[in-house]
Amino acid sequence: MQTDDVCEFLDWCRTQKIEFDGLELIYVQGAGYGLVAKRDFQSEEPVIKLPQKCLITAGQVVEIPKYKELVGNLRYFYFFFEKIKSFSTLPSPFEMLVLFFALEEPQTSTYGPYLKMLPKDFSTPIYEGIEFPESDLPDSVLSFWRQQRQELKVISEKVESLRPKYSISKERLLWAWHIVNTRCIFVENRPNKFIDQTHGDTIAIIPFVDMLNHSTNAQGLALLDKRSSTYMVKAQRFILQDSEVFVCYGPHTNARLYIEYGFKLPDNPYAKVIVNHDLFFELAEECGISLSEKRRDIIRRADLPW
């Protein structure tokens, strides 16, 4: 049985010209909302189609008068305060989307029905306030863990500059940061003069499409058809009726999935720990495998992950 919020969201999707015939939105325990096929889908058949204008991008958000003014306030602040002169005077695509979700309210936003469907909390270490001793983390996980905390620190400092007109609590900012971090999808966006695109602009939040859950054995592939300005999810292979439809978020280890999304997979084919060469050589020695300096040099030059 669908709740009032779900019915309102589906009606809103239809008014936005989002096509999803043959799919049902359901609540999956432990994973939030997901999408189930209510009929068979053939390989290469579109499962979801929506106009490109439905994508929530930084460039689209900054053209909304409220957010264009907000960017102006940020630039004014950065110009006069030396302590953050290293910051760009423009928000990055990620930061702009975080600000959007931090400030939009379901009662007043044109995206209200969609906002009501978003998760209320997260099970990631950062959201739950879990700290890991850095000495316990492999190098590959440690670098990602540090990067996440640094991103959150920078955007928190930037948001502070918006007070008192825009007062965003730490809890609200943390929630908005997670919405963007866990739901953004790769899309190549057009340049916008109000967005810092030093590192490109390749993220978007896509309502309804972001209800698809993750599987390493996914049946759906998402892409943007630039000729028709249509974003779609196609069946990569035959999809059986009554099966949940998945996409793959990427070839992530369980450590990456846990830190970024807050879940782990019991049979993850990408479950591995990458170790540096020196540690690899030490482990080899411990196992009684002797490596000459020439062989060590060959391994270093190959630079394969271990």
Q: What is the pLDDT of residues 21-30, one digit of tens each?
A: 999 999 988 8
Q: Report residue 82's pLDDT band, with 50, 70 and 90 as the boundaries.
A: very low
Same structural domain, 301 and 230:
no
> Is 18's pLDDT higher than 90?
yes
Which two three-digit tokens encode residue 165? 């007109």
Residue 269 lies in a domain: no
49 shares a domain with 36? yes
Count of beta carbons in the 10 Å neighbourhood of residue 264: 14
The reply to whether 179 and 69 lie within a common domain is yes
Q: Give helix 93-103 / helix 170-183 axis angle, nearest 10°.
A: 130
**282, part of any domain:** yes
Same domain for 152 and 284: no
Q: What is the pTM of this model?
A: 0.87
Q: Tell me what the mean pLDDT of segment 112-118 comes to.
A: 97
Average pLDDT of the residues in 30-35: 90
One domain for residues 154 and 175: yes
Give the model's pLDDT for residue 282: 84
In single-letter form, the type of residue at position 155 comes to I
Highest mean pLDDT, choosing among 80-89, 116-125, 141-150: 116-125
Residue that terminates a domain, selected from 150, 167, 202: 202
Q: Which amino acid is at 168?
A: I
Per-residue pLDDT band at 304 (split at 50, 70, 90) = low
Lowest mean pLDDT among 99-108, 140-149, 213-222, 240-249: 140-149
Q: Is the pLDDT of residue 262 over 60?
A: yes
User: Above 50 in pLDDT, residue 80?
Assistant: no
Q: Say if residue 172 is in the same domain as residue 249.
A: no
- As a whole-number percent, the residues of the chain with pLDDT over 70 amount to 93
Pair 211, 283 in one domain: no
| Burial (CB count within 10 angstroms: exposed 0-12, middle 13-18, buried 19+), residue 200 | exposed
237 with 131, same domain: the answer is no
What confidence score (pLDDT) does residue 26 get? Answer: 94
The model's confidence at residue 83, banded by pLDDT at 50, 70 and 90, is very low
Q: Which residue has the higher pLDDT, 153 or 278?
A: 153
The answer as to whether 270 is a domain residue is no
In this prediction, residue 81 has a pLDDT band, given cuts at 50, 70 and 90, of: very low
Q: 97 vs 140, 152, 204, CA distance in Å? A: 27, 13, 8
| Residue 47 pLDDT | 97
What pLDDT is stored for residue 157 in this prediction?
85
Pick from 148, 180, 202: which residue ends a domain? Answer: 202
In a domain, 198, yes or no: yes
Q: Give the residue with greater pLDDT, 73 vs 287.
A: 287
Q: Are 116 and 9 in contact (CB under 8 A)?
A: yes
- Asked which of 76-80, 98-102, 200-204 is least confident by mean pLDDT, the reply is 76-80
pLDDT value at residue 74: 67
Domain count, the chain: 3
Whether residues 43 and 129 share a domain: the answer is no
Can you give the residue range of the structural domain that contains 63? 56-202
Mean pLDDT to the nearest integer, 138-151: 87
One domain for residues 89 and 163: yes
Residue 2 pLDDT exceeds 80: no
Mean pLDDT of the region 88-103: 90
Tens of pLDDT along 208-247? 999 999 999 999 999 988 889 999 999 999 999 999 999 9
- The answer on 77 and 32 residing in a single domain is no
In this structure, are residues 214 and 249 in contact, taking their beta carbons and an 8 Å threshold?
yes
Closest CA to 112 of 99, 101, 124: 101
Residue 280 has a pLDDT of 81
Average pLDDT along the chain: 89
Give 149-173 as a 3 state SS string: HHHHHHHHHHHHCCCCCCCCCHHHH
> Residue 215 sits in a domain of what CATH number?
2.170.270.10
* Same-domain pairing of 226 and 172: no
Confirm whether 5 is domain-assigned. Answer: yes
